[in-house]
Amino acid sequence: MPKRSSFRNRFSFYLLAIGSACGLGNLWRFPYIVGENGGGAFLLLYVFLALTVGMTLLIAELMLGHFTGVSVLAASRKVSIQSKKPIAAFGWLSVIISAVTLAYYSVICGWVLHYLTQFIMSLFQSDSSAYLSHMSVTMLQQNGWLQFMLASVHLLISVVIIVKGLGDGVERWITSLLPVFGLLVVVLLIGSLSLDSTPDVLRFLFYPDFSKLNWNSLGHAVGHVFFTLSLGFGTMVTFGSYFRKDEEHLPTLGLRVTLIDTLISIVAVLLIFPIAFSTTKQPLTDPSLLFEVLPRFLSTYKGGVIFGLTFFLCLWLAALNASLGLLETITANLVEKRPHLKRSVAASISGLAILFVTVFPAFSGSLFKSFKLRGHGLIEIFDSFLINGLLPIAGLGMVIIVTLGLTENDRKELFLHEKSITSQTMYPHWRSALKWVVPAVIVLGLLLQVLGLFFA
Ligand code: PHE
């Protein structure tokens, strides 16, 4: 077995899994898809799916990694040979999705970097509020070269960290900043909940109006659950392979990571929507939401610039942490596939390949502006096709690998904990959920989206 980066063994799995799960998906993507899908009913559907479908699959992926001790490509091949079932190809889908997602994710991380630099620059302006109030995502989206450059800087930093094997130090460092980030979020939350728009927001978020759900809602909820919990990418399989059973109980880890991630997403909507409602009188429903409302809101406050600067710095570091998880997964798979390659070479090759894909989302608002499908630009198509379409299919692949590739005894042994009676009670429920509920929900979500194309 190829040598893996040894820091992983000592590093707490919680921080690894939570660091990968919590990123732009929670603070940037979740609020706007809740807005897009009409609020309360979607939020309820999402929380339900995260705690059922998401948690079930998270445990399964960690299990596959821990059982095989390798990443998803080698893991799917290994169990395919053992079980004599043709399930090895599913691993490939996950790795391809990881690479394309990292390209797309890097562009959004580039947006965060741009805002961070704008906050820094505003410190040197005579009227920083006026300077900040002119920032616009639309202008950024139309500047392909700037987006490409920012995404390249982000990718380069990620590659250097992986190549230099600094992952351990960087992750520890970022994690130690998390309390600061948490504090900023709480202060922002108090500020935003004390706005006049809060009653309207609470009604929008917590009075479910099921008539607002549409053909796409189930698919969007499933896709986002997978994206935010880093499922279907093989990331959790890689992390599971670093996992030591004597250190932690797998299902407990899955439960806690799901709960924390879901909680952060709920805090994110509570934070963003009052500000969005008070400035635009309606929930924004597109990717610019976080970037449009937050800087404007902060620019009206004394000390808002320093606050915004620290907030975007923490947001970028959290996103960097999540990007490292993706790049680590791709690199680990490549090293296992080509054992003669050094980790540094594998990480550099992966980085270069991803940089090439980055061209498409980065230039979607400029060079590829005329490329439209049903009125949607390339970046929206990227997001939708990848996260609402391909990712659930990759998740289905994981279900197939774990249900067909592992035996009942293997799964049971990995799930049960000798001291926990709850684990014995929960096992049959988890197994049925994995075998029936998860595939049924994924297929239904995909089917409804396809039907929506004809009937909506
Ligand atoms: N879960 C991360 C987020 O919500 C995205 C991610 C996906 C990170 C897959 C790593 C692997 O931002």
The answer to whether the beta carbons of residues 107 and 147 sit under 8 Å apart is yes
Question: In this structure, which residue's CA is closest to atom 8 in ligand 1?
Answer: 322
Count the domains in the chain. Answer: 1
Burial group, residue 249, by CB count within 10 angstroms (0-12, 13-18, 19+): middle
Tell me the C-alpha distance between 163 and 345, whole Å: 8
CATH code of 55's domain = 1.20.1740
Domain extent, residue 449, equals 10-455
User: Which DSSP category does 409 fall into?
Assistant: H
Tell me the C-alpha distance between 116 and 206, whole Å: 33
Indicate if ligand 1 lies below 6 Å from the C-beta of 326: yes
Predicted structure pTM score: 0.92
Nearest to 358 by CA among 211, 184, 188, 156: 156
Tell me the C-alpha distance between 291 and 339, whole Å: 42
Indicate if ligand 1 lies below 6 Å from the C-beta of 94: no
Indicate if ligand 1 lies below 6 Å from the C-beta of 21: yes
Which numbered atom of ligand 1 lies nearest the CA of 105? 5
Indicate if ligand 1 lies below 6 Å from the C-beta of 27: no
The H-assigned helical ranges of 281-390 are: 289-299, 304-337, 343-362, 378-383
Tell me the C-alpha distance between 49 and 55, whole Å: 9
In a domain, 240, yes or no: yes
In a domain, 216, yes or no: yes
Q: Give strand pairing partners of 373.
A: 376
Tell me the C-alpha distance between 86 and 400, whole Å: 10
In a domain, 2, yes or no: no
Tell me the C-alpha distance between 2 and 162, whole Å: 16
Site to substitute for ligand 1 among 26, 228, 330, 387, most atoms within 8 A of C-beta: 228
Which numbered atom of ligand 1 lies nearest the CA of 24? 12
Indicate if ligand 1 lies below 6 Å from the C-beta of 228: yes
| Helix, strand or coil, per DSSP, at residue 446 | helix
| Å from CA of 319 to ligand 1 middle | 8
Tell me the C-alpha distance between 114 and 295, whole Å: 12
In a domain, 363, yes or no: yes
Q: Supply the pLDDT for residue 282.
A: 62
Q: Supply the pLDDT for residue 3.
A: 41
| Å from CA of 381 to ligand 1 middle | 18
In a domain, 4, yes or no: no
Burial 309-331 (b: 16+ CB within 10 A, else e): bbbbbbbbbbbbbbbbbbbbbbb
Indicate if ligand 1 lies below 6 Å from the C-beta of 321: no
Residues ≥6 apart with Cβ < 8 Å to 127: none
Tell me the C-alpha distance between 196 and 275, whole Å: 10
Q: Supply the pLDDT for residue 75.
A: 92
In a domain, 91, yes or no: yes
Tell me the C-alpha distance between 183 and 190, whole Å: 11
The answer to whether the beta carbons of residues 2 and 167 sit under 8 Å apart is no
DSSP string for 226-295: HHHTT-SSSHHHHHHHT--TTT--HHHHHHHHHHHHHHHHHHHHHHHHHHHHHHHSS---STTHHHHHHH
Question: In this structure, which residue's CA is closest to atom 9 in ligand 1?
Answer: 230
Length of the chain in terms of residues written: 456
| Å from CA of 285 to ligand 1 middle | 21
Residues ≥6 apart with Cβ < 8 Å to 182: none
Q: Supply the pLDDT for residue 2.
A: 39
Site to substitute for ligand 1 among 15, 227, 314, 330, most atoms within 8 A of C-beta: 227
Tell me the C-alpha distance between 330 and 233, whole Å: 9
In a domain, 5, yes or no: no
Indicate if ligand 1 lies below 6 Å from the C-beta of 323: no
Mean pLDDT of successive 10-residue stretches along the chain, which has 456 residues: 43 76 92 92 97 97 92 91 87 93 95 93 82 80 94 95 74 76 88 90 93 94 97 91 76 93 95 86 72 82 83 90 90 88 91 95 85 78 90 96 93 84 88 96 97 85
In a domain, 80, yes or no: yes
